[in-house]
């Protein structure tokens, strides 16, 4: 028996080598009631802390689903007008449920819970819990104290989320409850100065590295991991979308679009249709993703999703998919290769090929320019191309299949 405390709805299985795999399973009663959750692999040989964190994500989602279905549940009126009341009201309001994706909601709730549980010293010297404070008591100085307290712990990114999420909550809820907010300061979070920080530059994998991994994964009898790398690099899918099954076999050259692959982006809810071929002026069919399709043709159809386990189950939101990719990459002599690196590599290639921002966003489905610009890395090739264009030197030629190799078929 494993000497660990199992979180709610979590079980484990012991494999032949003695290691343990942990699972979270949505209770059957909730599934029958319409809960959109199933069984999820949380990971292998997790520590107690890792297990608790992985399970907490799914338990919070289930609790959120249960809360949203309860028509009799209302914010506690005895604490009407407090910050905690505002958070509870906001999380149930259409301004939140219609604008924040289901995937991102647990993160908002975690941040708001931490803000409510934050204690600061008031001007009278007393310690005050932020959640118990009245909304109109939150001034710019109070917001700055909350931000500074989070930042002092070394959680720079979390402190930025505190300001971003609270600023949005104040902005969206004030029109609905104007009497509860301050009249002198429209939004106290607007006055918080975010401290500069040096952001870590994520590693990116180039085309040759991605396909070295893909071919190696097939040889290691892990073709589903090869497909995951291709989806991340060529079709710019987030690892979370891949693991959750947002690329299906029915959408790869399916009946509704035989010349396309259709993928969905879980975070943004966007649907991306990527053409796999086109017909030139001579009536020839030009295949655009010959490398990628050669990999996909090697992947068995274990289930509905292109990337899933041999049992047909999805990898889910746990660490199983990333752990498996890392293990195979290390075995192939490609340390540091991840699906995230593959996606960043694909985004970088868009810039290296000279696509405009509009063209790049039409492929990646980023909603804002700010989100899009952070992905492409300033590689030596980009700098060289920019320098050559500065001096009017251009060596580009019209080669639509320069990357993947031409595959032409005459239409009769």
261: three-class secondary structure by DSSP:
strand
> Can you name the residues that pair with 279 across neighbouring β-strands?
285
CA R_g for the chain:
25
Distance, CA of 69 to CA of 35 (rounded, Å) = 10
The alpha carbon dihedral of 261, 220, 214, 323 has a sign of: positive
At residue 57, the pLDDT reads 84
pLDDT in tens, the chain (412 residues): 566 788 889 988 888 887 888 888 998 888 888 778 888 888 888 888 888 888 888 888 888 777 766 644 444 444 788 999 999 999 999 999 988 888 788 899 999 999 999 999 877 677 889 999 999 999 999 999 999 999 998 888 899 999 999 999 999 999 999 999 998 888 999 999 999 877 666 788 999 999 999 999 999 999 999 999 999 999 999 999 999 899 999 999 998 899 999 999 887 778 999 999 998 888 899 999 999 999 999 999 999 999 999 988 999 877 899 999 999 999 999 999 999 999 999 988 988 888 888 888 888 888 788 777 767 666 677 677 777 776 777 655 444 455 655 555 544 4
At residue 376, the pLDDT reads 66
The H or E element spanning position 40 is strand 39-44
Q: How far is CA 236 from the centre of its chain?
A: 12
> Can you name the residues that pair with 23 across neighbouring β-strands?
11, 41
Contact at 8 Å (CB) between 115 and 166?
A: yes
Give the burial class of 397: count Cβ atoms within 10 A of its Cβ; 0-12 exposed, 13-18 middle, 19 or more buried: exposed
> Where do the domains of the chain lie, and which CATH numbers do they carry?
10-69 (no CATH), 77-191 (1.10.150), 207-390 (1.10.443.10)
Helix ranges (DSSP H) in 102-155: 105-116, 140-152
For the chain, helix (H) and strand (E) counts, in that order, are 16, 10
Total count of residues recorded for the chain: 412
Which letter, b or e, does each residue of 58-84 get, where b requires 16 or more Cβ atoms within 10 Å of its Cβ?
bbbbbebbeeeeeeeeebeeeeebbbb
- In sequence order, what are the residues at sequence separation of 6 or more whose Cβ sits closer than 8 angstroms to the Cβ of residue 266? 101, 103, 238, 240, 241, 244, 246
At residue 408, the pLDDT reads 54
Contact at 8 Å (CB) between 81 and 134?
A: yes
Give the burial class of 335: count Cβ atoms within 10 A of its Cβ; 0-12 exposed, 13-18 middle, 19 or more buried: exposed
288: DSSP letter: S
* Among candidate residues 338, 322, 329, 315, the one with its CA nearest the CA of residue 246: 315
At residue 406, the pLDDT reads 52
The H or E element spanning position 207 is helix 207-219
- In sequence order, what are the residues at sequence separation of 6 or more whose Cβ sits closer than 8 angstroms to the Cβ of residue 268? 101, 365, 366, 367
At residue 397, the pLDDT reads 44
Distance, CA of 239 to CA of 323 (rounded, Å) = 12
Distance, CA of 95 to CA of 107 (rounded, Å) = 16
The distance in angstroms from the start CA to the end CA of the chain is 67
At residue 405, the pLDDT reads 57
Q: How far is CA 316 from the centre of its chain?
A: 12
At residue 377, the pLDDT reads 66
* Residue 387 CB coordination number (10 Å): 10
195: three-class secondary structure by DSSP:
coil
Contact at 8 Å (CB) between 96 and 107?
A: no
76: three-class secondary structure by DSSP:
coil
Strands (DSSP E) found in 125-250:
127-129
Q: What is the dihedral of CA 322, 325, 331, 333, to 10 degrees?
A: -100
């Amino acid at each position: 028996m494993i000497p660990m405390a199992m979180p709610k709805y979590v079980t484990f299985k012991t494999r032949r080598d003695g290691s343990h795999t942990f699972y979270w399973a949505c209770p059957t009663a909730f599934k029958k009631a319409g809960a959109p959750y199933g069984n999820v692999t949380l990971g292998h040989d997790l520590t107690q802390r890792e297990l608790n964190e992985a399970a907490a994500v799914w338990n919070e989602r289930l609790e959120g689903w249960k809360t949203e279905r309860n028509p009799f549940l209302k914010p506690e009126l005895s604490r009407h007008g407090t910050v905690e009341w505002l958070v509870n009201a906001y999380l149930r309001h259409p301004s939140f449920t219609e604008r924040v994706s289901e995937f991102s909601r647990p993160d908002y709730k975690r941040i708001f819970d931490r803000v409510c549980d934050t204690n600061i010293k008031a001007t009278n010297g007393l310690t005050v819990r932020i959640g118990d404070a009245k909304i109109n008591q939150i001034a710019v100085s109070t917001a700055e104290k909350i931000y500074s307290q989070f930042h002092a712990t070394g959680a720079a990114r979390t402190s930025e989320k505190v300001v971003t999420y609270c600023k949005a909550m104040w902005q969206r809820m004030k029109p609905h409850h104007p009497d509860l907010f301050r009249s002198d300061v429209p939004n106290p979070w607007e006055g918080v100065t975010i401290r500069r920080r040096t952001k870590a530059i994520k590693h990116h994998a180039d085309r040759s590295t991605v396909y070295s991994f893909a071919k190696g994964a097939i040889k290691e009898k892990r073709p589903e991991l090869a497909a995951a790398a291709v989806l991340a690099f060529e079709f710019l899918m987030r690892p979370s979308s891949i693991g959750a099954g947002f690329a299906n076999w029915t959408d790869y050259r399916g009946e509704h679009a035989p010349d396309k692959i259709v993928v969905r982006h879980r975070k943004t809810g966007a649907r991306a249709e990527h053409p796999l071929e086109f017909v030139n002026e001579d009536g020839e069919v030009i295949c655009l993703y010959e490398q990628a399709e050669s990999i996909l043709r090697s992947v068995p159809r274990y289930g509905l999703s292109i990337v899933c386990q041999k049992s047909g189950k999805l990898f889910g939101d746990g660490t199983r998919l990333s752990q498996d990719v890392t293990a195979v990459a290390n075995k192939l002599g490609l340390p540091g290769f991840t699906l995230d690196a593959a996606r960043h590599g694909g985004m970088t290639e868009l810039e290296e090929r000279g696509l405009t921002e509009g063209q790049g966003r039409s492929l990646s489905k980023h909603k804002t320019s700010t989100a899009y610009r952070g992905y492409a890395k300033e590689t030596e090739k980009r700098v060289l191309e920019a320098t050559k264009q500065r001096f009017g030197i251009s060596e580009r030629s019209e080669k639509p299949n320069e990357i993947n190799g031409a595959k032409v078929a005459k239409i009769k």
